[in-house]
Amino acid sequence: MAHENCLPWHETTWQLIQRRRVAGRLPHAILLTGPNGIGKERFAERLMQALLCKQPEAGGDACGQCMACQLYRAGTHPDVRRVTAEEQGKSLRIDAVRELIDGLTFKSQYGGYKVASVSPAERLNRAAANALLKTLEEPTPETLLVLVCSRPSSLPATIRSRCQAMPFAVPEREQALVWLRQQGIESPETALDVVAGAPLSALAIAGSDNLALRAQLLEDLERIASGGSGPTTTAARYAKHDVQLVCSWLLSYVTDMIRLAMVPNPPGVRNSDSRKGLTKLAAAKNPVELFEYQDALMNARWMSETQVNTQLLVEDLFLRWDRLGKR
Ligand SMILES: [Zn+2]
């Protein structure tokens, strides 16, 4: 059975885990790290289901048929716990973390493994991290805790050191393109490029009107730069959208502008479909100011993950863009 959570670029890590499982050396806690949009959660689900399955396949995947698999798919398996962020920017709930710990501590209700996942683990606050630490220090047999994290440096070192780290990287471009075409995206190149090669992010934006909005964003940058429209009016259009996405597009555009401003025909231009427009914009701006703007964007992208006033954040970014070269 082709498992819905099987992603081709996970195969090496999957086989590594399976070898450990066969050898009886599966760790109690795994830390899946790597950028967003490459399917770390899917890997966690694939692994958790495989451990609960009563008749796993030869490759280690869940059978999808047994009672455990049916309960898992229905979301009613009693030996699975998950803690996820309920709201953008908020910490993971401490009571949810405590419930998860209880689930791992008590006897398995269905016989066999008990599994749990925490995602994104960087949202554990200090109290929750401390509670989890005790479980990591004294694990019960046949338990697996999977922490999913795109910023492992923001996890306490005490947590990190007690987990088996499994780093995931962005897949090879060709592999990602093949996979996206299999998902029904006819021309996935632009979508993949604008999300820095993360296939699941590419799939999300290719199937929506986000790509059109991204093209519009470049036009708006041009219009503000030429004095054709005001930054505040423009900002209003984007504040209603996924601000994290808008910040990452701006960052990607400006990073390309810096590349294009430094050398002719630079390699690694991510927005290759917009090279002409970006070259023109880059030529009209001072590179030092572009670097400063890039810093501001990185900061904004980080802020956009917290509970910030998105209207003000976006407005500030367009005002800064408008001011470039006017000081
Ligand atoms: Zn099964």
Convert the pLDDT of each residue in 124-133 to its tens digit.
999 999 999 9
| C-alpha 273 to ligand 1 mean position (Å) | 45
Convert the pLDDT of each residue in 140-172 to its tens digit.
889 999 999 999 998 999 999 999 999 999 999
Convert the pLDDT of each residue in 182-213 to its tens digit.
988 888 998 898 888 999 999 988 877 888 88
User: Which amino acid is it at 245?
Assistant: L
Q: What is the mean pLDDT of the chain?
A: 91
* The pLDDT value given to residue 116: 96
Mean pLDDT of 223-246: 90
| Nearest-angstrom CA–CA distance, 147 and 219 | 40
Residues 214, 196: contact at Cβ < 8 Å? Answer: no
Which residue stretches of 77-206 are H helix? 94-105, 126-137, 157-160, 173-182, 189-194, 199-206
Residues 243, 316: contact at Cβ < 8 Å? Answer: no
Q: Is the pLDDT of residue 1 over 60?
A: no
| Nearest-angstrom CA–CA distance, 67 and 313 | 49
| C-alpha 63 to ligand 1 mean position (Å) | 4
| C-alpha 13 to ligand 1 mean position (Å) | 21
* The pLDDT value given to residue 207: 74
What would the two tokens of residue 235 be? 């900002």
DSSP three-state, residue 165 = strand
Residue whose C-alpha is closest to residue 31's, from 98, 129, 125: 129
| C-alpha 8 to ligand 1 mean position (Å) | 21
Kindly list the structural domains of the chain, giving each domain's residue range(s) and its CATH number in brackets, ordered by start: 8-169 (3.40.50.300), 209-323 (1.20.272.10)
Mean pLDDT of 22-31: 94
| C-alpha 323 to ligand 1 mean position (Å) | 60
Mean pLDDT of 238-267: 90
- 301 or 165, higher pLDDT: 165
| C-alpha 110 to ligand 1 mean position (Å) | 13
DSSP one-letter code for 107: P
CA dihedral 16, 19, 24, 26 (to 10 degrees): 10
* The pLDDT value given to residue 209: 82
| C-alpha 72 to ligand 1 mean position (Å) | 9
CB-proximal residues (5 Å) to ion ligand 1: 53, 62-63, 66, 69
* Residue keyed to tokens 């049916």: 70
Question: Which of 93-107, 163-177, 256-270 ranks highest by mean pLDDT?
Answer: 163-177
Q: Is the pLDDT of residue 45 over 90?
A: yes
What's the distance, CA 106 to chain centroid? Answer: 32
* The pLDDT value given to residue 109: 85
* The pLDDT value given to residue 295: 95
